[in-house]
């Protein structure tokens, strides 16, 4: 369990993290999202004791990271995959970590096999690709078999097979009851991987919610309705439009797309007005769409598309 209580970090007049309060529990993958500069990396660094909060606290199982008696066995972290001496082999790098933390060397070979680096274990890390660095960083995070994993952008540099492997790995860790706190800018992958979402913008908490609730609760969520009779379609559309906050689109082929009403509400209304329905389908927004809608006012670094267009035309 990771606990944040009023967690705040200021750099002079700049507030990087602003009073974050939340609990990140075990048995699930919690995705950590936010625009560039939102404070995600700073939050992770404060959880790991690398930065000190200006106010508030970040706790792991009720303790600050610095108070953990055997931290490598309690928290596994990957913040910078390339933080490896380039002249060391992958195996030597992990052996140094294992010995400095009182772990048996056989554990090194176990995690190298787990991340798929056994065949290159004696190669110098300086010859590795970014994807190989990521795998080595994950091996280091798993070294102490910790109940808490904190991974910052672990899929960067991975090929499609590696991305799928990472997804399966973190899901397996969560299924074993571990706390997995994972950041990424790959929305499609996060949608496949995470059970729960924490989203911040400009250092402030914007959402702390299950993935399914976040997608179904967005204003972009809609319901597709298929009605066989054009007259019944028109009648149902007119009734739906009478409700406040309801948007109805008619893409044709006997279909309506309705925003602002649930499938159950539309079904009940169709029954009352005598309209036959062939299909009711929830059309939830993608994570990317819902995320962009939520964070639209929290993006710190933006581009003036109109100015860019004028430059191109000139």
Question: Reduced to 3 states, what is the DSSP secondary structure of residue 89?
Answer: strand
Flag whether pLDDT at 237 surpasses 80.
no
Report pLDDT digits (tens) over 23-33.
999 999 999 99
Please give the residue that has the higher pLDDT: either 231 or 104.
104
Identify the sign of the CA torsion 254, 260, 263, 269. negative
What average pLDDT does this structure show over 277-292?
78
Q: Which residue, 265, 189, 277, is CA-closest to 225?
A: 277
Class of domain 222-283: alpha beta
What average pLDDT does this structure show over 306-311?
42
φ, ψ (nearest 5 deg) of residue 129: -80, 170
Q: What six digits make up the tokens of 268?
A: 């009940």
Domains of the chain, residue spans: 2-209, 222-283
Q: Which fold has domain 2-209?
A: Rossmann fold (3.40.50)
Flag whether pLDDT at 232 surpasses 80.
no
Q: What is the DSSP letter of 185?
A: S
Write the CB contacts of 178 (distance below 8 Å, at least 6 apart in sequence).
Answer: 26, 27, 146, 147, 148, 149
Report pLDDT digits (tens) over 189-220.
998 999 999 999 999 999 999 988 888 766 55
């Amino acid at each position: 369990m990771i606990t944040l209580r009023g967690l705040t970090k200021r750099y002079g007049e700049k507030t990087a993290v602003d009073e974050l309060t939340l609990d990140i529990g075990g048995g699930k993958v919690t995705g950590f999202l936010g625009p560039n500069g939102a404070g995600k990396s700073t939050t992770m660094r404060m959880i790991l004791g690398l930065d000190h909060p200006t106010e508030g606290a970040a706790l792991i199982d009720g303790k600050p990271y610095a108070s953990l008696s055997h931290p490598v066995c309690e928290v596994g972290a990957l913040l910078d995959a390339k933080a490896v001496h380039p002249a060391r082999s992958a195996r030597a790098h992990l052996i140094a970590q294992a010995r400095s933390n009182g772990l048996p060397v056989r554990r090194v070979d176990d995690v190298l096999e787990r991340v798929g680096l056994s065949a290159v274990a004696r190669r110098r890390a300086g010859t590795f690709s970014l994807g190989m660095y990521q795998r080595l960083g994950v091996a280091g995070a798993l070294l102490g078999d910790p109940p808490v994993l904190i991974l910052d952008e672990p899929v960067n540099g991975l090929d499609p097979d590696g991305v799928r492997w990472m997804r399966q790995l973190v899901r397996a860790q969560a299924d074993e009851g571990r706390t997995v706190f994972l950041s990424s800018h790959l929305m499609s992958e996060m949608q496949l991987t995470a059970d729960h979402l924490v989203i911040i913008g400009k250092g402030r908490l914007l959402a702390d919610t299950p993935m399914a609730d976040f997608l179904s609760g967005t204003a972009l969520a809609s319901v597709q309705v298929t009605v066989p009779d054009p007259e019944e379609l028109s009648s149902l559309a007119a009734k739906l439009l009478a409700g406040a906050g309801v948007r109805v689109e008619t893409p044709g082929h006997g279909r309506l797309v309705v925003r602002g009403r649930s499938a159950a509400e539309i079904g009940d209304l169709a029954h009352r007005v005598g309209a036959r329905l062939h299909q009711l389908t929830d059309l939830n927004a993608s994570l990317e769409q819902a995320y962009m809608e939520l964070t639209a006012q929290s993006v710190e670094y933006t581009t003036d598309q109109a100015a860019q267009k004028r430059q191109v035309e000139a």
